[in-house]
Structure 1
Amino acid sequence: MMKVLVATGATQGARRGDYDHCVTGELVWMLEPCAESARNPGGKCGCGRSFSGMSSHRSTTTAVIRDVPGLTRSDYEAALRASFDAQGWCPCCCVQPVSEVVDELIAVAADWPEGAVIGRRLNVLSIRAQTHNRSNDAG
């Protein structure tokens, strides 16, 4: 099993600017904040406070840490690469290399306990809640 970040609606609405447009339980990653969001992560552009869904290509301000049975690093990388391909992003120069993004996501998830609901403000992640009920965020 591998711990990963997945979309969740848990704690949505607890903070001004919360939103959840992802599919609950889908794998998520973190887009590098644009200049506007870097200046004001709580502002109009939410890329500095959100997680991006690999399947829906939508975003959410909360993610939960889950151990996904049977998910391999290779599967994880293929999912992110497929997401980039579907959106027409060049995986070699539009963002950092896919393998590096996956390594960072694995490292981030490893630092949190299973069921931790995570929020983001630029490159700082913080725990918003601890859940134990997989039915709220399992895909």
Structure 2
Amino acid sequence: MVRDLPGITETEYLEALRNSLDAQGWDARHADAEASRLLTEVERWPVGAIVERFVDGLSVRALSDASIGRVPGRR
């Protein structure tokens, strides 16, 4: 999950989560509540944070260049 994806609405995110759970054989009935929980959890991280989930825990896997002020091609 990425903290912010321009052009993706909350409704589209919810639908993607439902489809993902369904495709993996998981019960998608609680997707709305799970999506709300995940969206609330990632609000504390900077835009562009790439967040991973392991069981019930979330952590930042990486930060996009935009979120940490890097300029492409500059070291």
TM-score normalised to the size of structure 1? 0.37
TM-score normalised to the size of structure 2? 0.62
Q: Deviations over 1:39-96 (max 9, x none)?
A: xxxxxxxxxxxxxxxxxxxxxxxxxx3x21121111011101111221232323xxxx
State the alpha-carbon separation in 2 of the partners of residues 110 and 126 from structure 1. Answer: 12
Tell me if structure 1 keeps the 8 A contact 2:50–2:64: no
Unaligned runs of 5+ in 2: 67-75
State the alpha-carbon separation in 2 of the partners of residues 73 and 80 from structure 1. Answer: 10
Tell me if structure 1 keeps the 8 A contact 2:51–2:60: yes
State the alpha-carbon separation in 2 of the partners of residues 91 and 121 from structure 1. Answer: 18
Give me the identity figure in percent: 38
Q: CA deviation at 1:126?
A: 4.5
| Cα distance, 1:107–1:89 mapped onto 2, change above 3 Å | same
State the alpha-carbon separation in 2 of the partners of residues 75 and 119 from structure 1. Answer: 19
Report what 1:116 is aligned to: 49
The one-letter amino acid of 1:80's match is L
| Cα distance, 1:115–1:99 mapped onto 2, change above 3 Å | same
Q: CA deviation at 1:112?
A: 0.6
Write 1 or 2 for the structure with the bigger share of strand: 1
The one-letter amino acid of 1:104's match is R
* Worse-matched range after superposition: 69-78 or 80-89: 80-89
RMSD between aligned residues:
2.7
Report what 1:84 is aligned to: 21
Write 1 or 2 for the structure with the bigger share of helix: 2
Counterpart selection for 1:75 from 3, 9, 12: 12
